[in-house]
Chain A
Amino acid sequence: MAHISSSVYTSHVPAIGAALDLGKTTEPYWQPLFKGFEFSQQWLRAHTPDVIFLVYNDHANAFSLEIIPTFAIGTAAEFQVADEGWGPRPVPKVIGHPELASHIAQSVIQDDFDLTIVNKMDVDHGLTVPLSLMCGQPQAWPCPVIPFAVNVVQYPIPSGRRCFMLGQAIRTAIESFDQPLDVQVWGTGGMSHQLQGPRAGLINKEFDKMFLDRLIADPAGLAGVPHIDYVREAGSEGIELVMWLIARGAMADIAGGKPPRVVHRFYHVPASNTAVGHLILENP
């Protein structure tokens, strides 16, 4: 059977992608950020999974206002890199895992989560920046990736509790797949940031620290934090953090197993407008 070995959490700021693509990673502004991911790249090379289930959000690229799915699972064989208006990022296309993705869709929908199934979708920086941070600049990504897009653009977005429960259903689905696959679940977005209005530029280090602490040690309690607390404390775009709860909900301790091991923790301000947070948790 397939199993979930680890979960990875990271922000997905577009300027990070631009810094990589334009060769700016050693500039003083960017150097501390990329240094925080050096360990992570070594770790991923040593722990390359068979499949990455990558939770992210689309930023008005694959989805306009014509159709707004709350939860969308990519079941295609491959996904092209989106042109977000600056031209597509010069990164490899994303190879999917249609068999596992379809299996997860079937299982999770029967578990009362009404996913939208997407067979054609370009993937934007929300998905490709985490891959770049964790993999560097390879010719091809190290394994297939199942894109899982969450609506965090048009309010109301799903609650933290809903995301946490969905993660548990995804775990059940993966563990019932009849192939011995090593799967990682990644949660991306955040941390505190606001891109709009006179309050743009908001950063709240105390909130971010609290979020990281509780994501590790008290995820069920953290899942009860209401939307308004994210908006008020972490900024209008900081609400992306609910997506981390999907990945956390998929870890073994939530299903009665042992707590995960914290392999790596990193935090840096700023990347453009945003606080960058990063965690790697391994199941025991």
Chain B
Amino acid sequence: MSLDKPYKDVPGTTIFDAEQSRKGYHLNQFCMSLMKPENRARFKSNERAYLDEWPMTEDQKLAVLARDLNRCIELGGNIYFLAKIGATDGKSFQQMAGSMTGMSEQEYRDMMVKGGRSIEGNRSIKEHK
């Protein structure tokens, strides 16, 4: 019997479970390395060379270089780890979260000030079928 993963039905959401964590281990550990100022400096001076020091997949490296956080998450990244890239770039959590929604930074900020994204229509993938 396989494991029950009901959260696969939540739209626009990837739950960082043991399977995602296994896929993203080196990607996330690369992110952790950016907590040290000397590593942030080395990463910024040559991103590709720094990434090549890690046993990450090519897809993961390209996603980091493109700052495509949705793709990073699909490939096993977790937002709290990916936030270290944002910190290196001088981005806030709000800028990072907003970048995954297809909205501009201002549109996302305005949505939050108006009370956030509504739950209506966002509960289940099945709702859309």
Contact = CB atoms under 8 A, between A and B. Distances in A.
Contacts of A198: 11-12, 70, 100-102
B88 A60 contact: no
B18 to A, nearest CB: 7
Contact of A197 (B31, B80, B88, B100): B100
Given A198-B70, A202-B122, A154 B16 contact: yes
A205 B79 contact: no
A83 B96 CA distance: 19
Contacts, number: 156
Contacts of A18: 92
A14 B93 contact: yes
B51 interface: no
Contacts of A270: 112-113, 115-116
Describe A's contact surface by its main secondary structure: loop
A17 B14 CA distance: 27
Contacts of A59: 80, 83
A200 B17 CA distance: 18
B84 interface: yes
B73 A232 contact: no
A118 B16 CA distance: 24
Interface string B85-124: 0111000111011101110000010011101111100111
Interface string A77-88: 000000111100
A60 B81 contact: yes
A228 B6 contact: yes
A205 B115 CA distance: 9
A233 B119 contact: yes
A192 B117 CA distance: 11
Given A195-B79, A199-B11, A85 B119 contact: no
Contacts of A29: 113
Most buried by B among A201, A237, A275: A201
Contact of A85 (B11, B79, B83): B83
Contacts of A237: 79
B69 interface: yes
B88 A85 contact: yes
Contacts of A70: none
A201 to B, nearest CB: 4
B60 interface: no
B117 A199 contact: yes
B57 interface: no
Contact of A195 (B15, B32, B93): B93
Contact of B7 (A196, A205, A231, A272): A231
Nearest to B94: A272
Nearest to B88: A85
A61 interface: yes
Nearest to B33: A64
Contacts of A235: 13
B28 A196 contact: no
Contacts of B69: 196
B97 A201 contact: yes
Interface of B: 6-7, 10-18, 21, 25, 28-29, 31-32, 34-35, 40, 69-70, 73, 78-81, 83-84, 86-88, 92-94, 96-98, 100-102, 108, 111-113, 115-119, 122-124
Given A195-B96, A200-B12, 11 more contacts: A14-B93, A29-B113, A59-B80, A60-B80, A153-B80, A196-B14, A199-B122, A201-B101, A203-B116, A236-B13, A272-B93
19 contacts: A60-B84, A65-B21, A83-B35, A155-B17, A197-B100, A198-B12, A199-B11, A200-B97, A201-B98, A201-B108, A202-B119, A204-B119, A231-B15, A233-B123, A269-B116, A270-B115, A272-B94, A272-B112, A273-B116
